[in-house]
Amino acid sequence: MLVFAAAQLLPGNVGRNILGPFASENDVKILNHQLGLDRPVLTQYGDWIWKLLQGNLGSSLEYQGTSVSSLLGPSLVNSLKLAAVAFVLVVPFSIFGGVAAALRRGRPADRIITLTGLSLTAVPEFVSAILLILVLGLWLKLLPVTAQYPSGAGFFTQVRYLLLPGLALVMVLFGYIARMARTGTIEALDSDYVRTAYLKGLDTSTVVRRHVLRNSLLPTIAVVATQMGYLIGGLVVIEKLFNYNGIGQRILTAATNKDFPMLESGVLVVGIVYLVATLAADVLYSLLNPRIRYAAAE
């Protein structure tokens, strides 16, 4: 609980941090006056927080008169679409990979899966994305090389356009999640209850399905949640590479153009999304793990 309380305070602090150094760099004084940027930093910040509490994110400095929320909203939806595609791909892939590796522990197949995962994880996402674009997009011509689907495209077309950027994120995440799934599975395989299950005469597939998987997937869910932070950062890079209009692009342009309301709100939104995802994973974790559920009830 304390962790959450501390993290809740965070976006505000970051907002102030960003504002501090920038406030001295305002050259265009008249414009600044119009925008209220020549007021003391704390006043601006207080103003921003006050409006925020009323649900108003302010208006963008770059796109005059356009409200931040009307620009951020669609971008957030776009980013979530991309993240969803990546997630739907990565979770089954990496859990399958991890469990498969664990069941063949120490054999070549295990080594190959582990080392591949490790290597893919280490390669920066824009590098793997470039390789994917070259191979799948340009040489084999399987997938479109831009992420921005034509407007009004149907569900499947959208997914098709998002597959390539999604895959690039998958390559980075696969290693972590597969490794956790592998560790969890090995731990479960070594346990007494699995030995008991085998001695009861159950066949391997039943043991794996009913006894191993249930226990091994718990730590995996936890690690999926910790990767949310990375996923958001990865989105920034991937969105730029594919010129995709998501929240990462918004934050990036806002940062380059010193569009503070946009930047602050973008970072705030990212912080909130991150918290919600972590919380959701915590809840899911306790729902799936009777031990934690009972401990909390006592």
Partner 1 sequence: MSTVSLPLQPSEVSVARRETVQLLLRSPTFVVGVVILGFWIFCAFFGSLVAPHDALDQSFPQLAGPGKYLFGTDQLGRDVFSRVLAGARDIMEVAPAATLLGILGGTTIGLVTGYFRGLVDDAVSRLVDAILALPLVVIAVTVLVALGPSKPTLILVIGFVFTPIVSRTVRAAVLAEGSLEYVQAARLRGESPLYVMFAEILPNVMPPIVVEATVRLGYAIFAIAGLTFLGFGVQPPSPDWALQISDNYTLLNSGTYWWTVLFPGLAIASLVVALNLVADSISKVLER
What is the distance between the alpha carbons of residues 72 and 245, in angstroms, rounded to a whole number? 10
Binding mask 209-248 for partner 1 (x = CB under 8 A): --------------------xx-xxx-xx--xx-------
For partner 1, give the closer residue by CB, 59 or 249: 249
Q: x/- binding map, residues 65-84, to partner 1, per CB under 8 A?
A: --------------------
Among 1, 6, 53, 296, the residue binding partner 1 under the rule CB under 8 A is 6
CA distances from residue 55 to 12, 35, 37, 68, 191 in whole angstroms, order as listed: 15, 19, 21, 11, 52
CA atoms within 13 A on the CB side of 44: 21
Q: What is the dihedral of CA 70, 74, 76, 79, to 10 degrees?
A: -160
4 and 279 Cβ atoms separated by less than 8 Å? yes
Place of tokens 């997937």: 217
Candidates 2, 30, 53, 199: give the one binding partner 1 (CB under 8 A). Answer: 2
Least CB distance from residue 145 to partner 1, whole Å? 6
Rule CB under 8 A: is residue 286 a binding residue for partner 1? no
Within 193-212, the residues that bind partner 1 by CB under 8 A are none
* Range 151-159 contact pairs with CB under 8 angstroms and sequence separation of 24 or more: 158/81, 159/85
The interface mask with partner 1, positions 100-139, x = CB under 8 A, is: ---------------x--xx-xxxxxxxx-xx-xx---x-
Is residue 263 close enough to count as binding partner 1 by CB under 8 A? yes
Q: How far apart are CA 152 and CA 252, in angstroms?
A: 26
DSSP 10-51: HHHHHHHHHHHHHHTT---HHHHHHHTTTS-HHHHHHHHHHH
Give me the least distance between CB of 147 and partner 1, in Å please. 12
Q: Is residue 18 within the footprint of partner 1 (CB under 8 A)?
A: yes
**Stretches 55-63, 74-82, 195-203, 263-271: which one binds partner 1 (CB under 8 A)?**
263-271
Name the residue nearer to partner 1 (CB basis): 78 or 215.
78
- What does the alpha-carbon distance between residue 159 and residue 239 come to, in Å, rounded to a whole number? 15
- Of residues 35, 91, 177, 251, which one binds partner 1 by CB under 8 A? 251
Q: Which two tokens stand for residue 187?
A: 């731990």
The nearest distance, CB 231 to partner 1, in angstroms, is: 8
For residue 182, give Cα distances in angstroms to 96, 117, 258, 287: 9, 11, 45, 22
Name the amino acid, one letter, at 83: A
Residue 223 sits at the vertex; the CA angle it makes with 197 and 281, to the nearest 5 degrees, is 95
Per CB under 8 A, contacts with partner 1 among 129-188 are: 130-131, 133-134, 138, 145-146
How near is the Cβ of 200 to partner 1 at its closest, in Å?
34
Contact residues for partner 1, defined by CB under 8 A: 2-3, 6-7, 9-10, 13-14, 17-18, 21-22, 115, 118-119, 121-128, 130-131, 133-134, 138, 145-146, 229-230, 232-234, 236-237, 240-241, 251-252, 255-256, 258, 263, 267, 270-271, 274-275
